[in-house]
Each structure stands twice: as structure tokens, then as C-alpha cells.
Chains A and B, each alone.
Chain A
């Protein structure tokens, strides 16, 4: 199958700090990709660069055959790539419903927006119950669901999830990974950045391991589970 997203020698630089030093990766339609690595390895910077939130100082990003390197963040929702950002970042002073409506901002067709609402409310019945509530008053787990729901509202072909289980209770973490498998059945392609390596490799098809801004290892989930590079990448050994 052809690649949905191709990243070639991507570099990200914040002032004097180079967070990503040449990353190549490929995501094919229908896959779930785990992007792993220790804190500061450049995972979030990579995801942010994909949607234009971080500046790509070099390299090339191709999505659905289009060169999207350096595009403004507002373009990606309508192109079909959305990010559920690290730390959830729901709009706390907006109601749940308004948050979701903003997720559908790029869609003009009212009927499609309605379908998207139904889909998200079916995935997360709790959000339907709490739709009038301010997002800031939701629990951490519910906010995470809202962040994912908001990213799903524009019907993305590719969903980027940045640390979806961060700071959540173990039981809620399980729900998050269940959600990922449900979304896979709905045909959503995903890139998941995770600290929870074992669970991420359980749901992923393939994975990339990052260390100091580079890809240190890649392979199928099964290969990565059994390899030493993964441990090395976390412990900093070569």
C-alpha cells in the first residue's frame, strides 16, 4: 500500500537548540505507528512539525502525495491530518459541545458536522452527557477523550496522538488504548507518541524509537519488543 505520510530527513530547531536532527518515517494507510523514546528525544517536536506547529528547518513532509512542509497549522484539518496535543489542551472556558464544534471548524457541510458529532458522542457517551459543561471542569480522563474527540471531528485520515495516557489513572489508560483499537476498526490511521511502551507496542503495527533527535531503531511492534535498542534508547546507552 502506498504511504499516506512520508517524512524525509526532518529537522526542527528552536533557536540554538536542535530538537530533531534528521528523522525519516513513513506511515501507510490503516497503520498504527508508535513513536517511542525517552523524554526530550524529539517525539513531540516531530509531531508538532508535521502539522506546522514547530518550524521544520530542513527536510520534507509529504501527506497524501502533497508536499506540506512549512504549511500553516490551519491547513491541516481540512487536508485530513489532526493532532491531539500533549497535555490535552482542551479549551477550558468553552463547553464540551463548543470544543467539538471547533474541531469541526474546517468543515462547511452542516450534515457532515452532525454526523461527526454523532460519531464522537457514540465513542464517548460521557461527552454527550456533559456537553453543556465547561471543558475545564471535566476530569483528566474526560478531557483526554474530549481532546481526541475534538481531533476526530474533522474526520481525519491521519490522527496524531501525543501522549494520550499521560497523567491518567491506570484504569483510564486502559480505556485510552481500547479507544485506539476501536478507532483502528473505523479505519483511522494513527501515529501515537507514548511513554507507556509496552501498551503502545501492544496496539501498534510498527514503531520508531527516537533518541537525541534521531531514529535509533524501527521495526514491527514484535521486533521492537524483543530488541535491545529500545532499552538502549531509554537508558541512553549505545
Chain B
């Protein structure tokens, strides 16, 4: 029972990070139909800022703020330079563009920083753990869970009560009609990128806090997982992204915990099979996006 609870905490921590990343992907996808594979590089950028701040002796709290700010800025610049020119192009063009951006950034990191993994100075408190009865929970796990909850509440409030948040929801459902209302396409898309950068930055801080290192390909795996989570939840649906992120986190952690040792190497294939199984029964994901419904009517 203790092991189960322990793993559940781990699942929440990992699933929360996937959820934040998947939310970022979903926001951009729902407003402009782009699956941004360069999302992972936003994470990596935030990771390198954490590294640089650690070397420069900046207090960790400020490093976090700087890292997140850098990810937001990078996301806005990315949209302006790479994605705005192909905004009205086909989905395939945008997808290839995002791959190109991703690869260019990876090569830049490899050549100008280092191809090898770099250590990041993380406060010791994060690697300590707390006892709750029979449970031993890492401070970094608690931080991840609390951060995820705070972020989800913040985003929910923003999307429900802020004018731009409501406009983003409107645009996700019907972009042309939203423009008719005077909602500027640039505002909504840049806003979606800024928020996705913000989420990637937060996810990067959580990711790096647990691993204390950063490398040029750091963002690739978590964002690939987040992409799977976004599809699992229903591509373009924000609630779906959160649900998919957590579900994928749970699947991965429980498989790692309960699969016999001889089967462990098949963990990822089994996880993906479970995802496919869900999609067979819910082809549009757990919580399909509203735009999809609108098209059917």
C-alpha cells in the first residue's frame, strides 16, 4: 500500500509536468493549428539559463524567474521570426518549420554551449525528502505537484476571466469569427505562444530540479511525451491536455513500478499500446476539442 501511495505521488509529479507541456502544445495548436515540435527547445533554453545563473551565483529564486522569462521571450521571438511567415500555409509546412527551428536550436546549443550534459546547481533542499507516516516524498516532487496545481488554477482563471483568455478560447473555436469581433490574430497567437513559453519554462524548472543537469536534447523526450499526452487528451483541447498529461504520467510510473523486471524493457511500447487502446475507444481523445465539435455541426 505504501509503495502504491509513493508511486501515486511520483505519478502526480511526472504527470503534472507532462500536463504543463501538453497544455502549451494544445494552446498553440488550438489557435493556429501548429504542432510546435520546437516547444522542447524552449525548455532547453530555460534549462541553460538555470545553468548560467547557477554559475554566476544568482540566487535560485531569481534564476527561476529569469529562466521562465527567457522561455517566454524565446517563444514570442520564435513565433515572430519562424511561424508568422508560414501562418497561412498548410499544416505540413508549419510542422516542418517547427522541426527546422528545433534542429537549428539543438545545433546552436551543441556548438555554442556544449554537446555534453552540463551540471546545474540546484539548492540542496530540493533533493531532500520529507516523511509522511510510511511515505518518503522528495521535496522536488512536492514542489512539482504544488507548482502544477498553482499553474493550472492560474491558467483556468486567466482563460475564464481575462479578456485575452476569453478571446483565446473564442479564437480556438472559430478563428475567423473571432477576428470579426475585432480580436487581432496577432494578439491571440502571440499570446498563445507567450503562455506556452511560460508553461515550458515552468516545466523546465521542474524537470531540471529533479535531474540537476541540462543537455542540448533535454527538451526532446518530455515534449514527445507531452505530444502523446495532448493526443491522448484530444488535440487542441486544454482540459484534454491536462487529463492526457496526468494519465500518461500514471501509466508510465505504474508500469515502472509494477511491471516484472524481465518486462521492464517493454515499458514504453506497453505504455503506447495503452494509449492506442484509449484512442480506439475515444478516437478524438479523452476530452475532444471544441473546434472539432463545431466542425461536425
Which residues from chain A sit less than 8 Å from chain B, CB to CB? Answer: 51, 53, 72-78, 82-83, 85, 89, 91-94, 98-99, 101-103, 105-106, 136, 150, 154
Kindly list chain A residues whose C-beta atoms are within 8 Å of the C-beta of B184: 74
| Number of chain B interface residues as a range | 20 to 34
Given A93-B173, A105-B167, the answer on whether A74 and B179 have CB atoms closer than 8 Å is yes
A91-B178, A92-B297, A102-B166 known; 17 new pairs, CB 8 Å cut-off, are: A51-B180, A72-B185, A73-B176, A74-B181, A85-B180, A89-B177, A93-B169, A93-B290, A94-B169, A94-B173, A98-B166, A99-B170, A102-B181, A105-B183, A106-B182, A136-B293, A154-B182
User: Nearest residue in B to A89 (C-beta to C-beta)?
Assistant: B177
Contact of A91 among B163, B177, B179, B297 (CB under 8 A): B177
Classify the interface of chain B: helix, strand, loop or mixed: helix
Kindly list chain B residues whose C-beta atoms are within 8 Å of the C-beta of A53: 176, 179-180
Docked Cα-Cα span, A78 to B184, in Å, equals: 12
> In whole Å, how far is B189's beta carbon from the nearest beta carbon of chain A?
12
Query: B252 at interface (Cβ–Cβ under 8 A)?
Result: no
Kindly list chain A residues whose C-beta atoms are within 8 Å of the C-beta of B79: none
Interface centre among B169, B181, B293, B297 (most CB of A within 10 A): B181
> In whole Å, how far is B101's beta carbon from the nearest beta carbon of chain A?
26
Check A83 against B180 for contact (C-beta < 8 Å): yes
Check A102 against B290 for contact (C-beta < 8 Å): no
Given A72-B179, A83-B180, A154-B182, the answer on whether A92 and B173 have CB atoms closer than 8 Å is yes
Check A102 against B178 for contact (C-beta < 8 Å): yes
Docked Cα-Cα span, A140 to B261, in Å, equals: 58
Query: B294 at interface (Cβ–Cβ under 8 A)?
Result: yes
Check A91 against B182 for contact (C-beta < 8 Å): no
Kindly list chain B residues whose C-beta atoms are within 8 Å of the C-beta of A85: 177, 180
Docked Cα-Cα span, A191 to B182, in Å, equals: 20
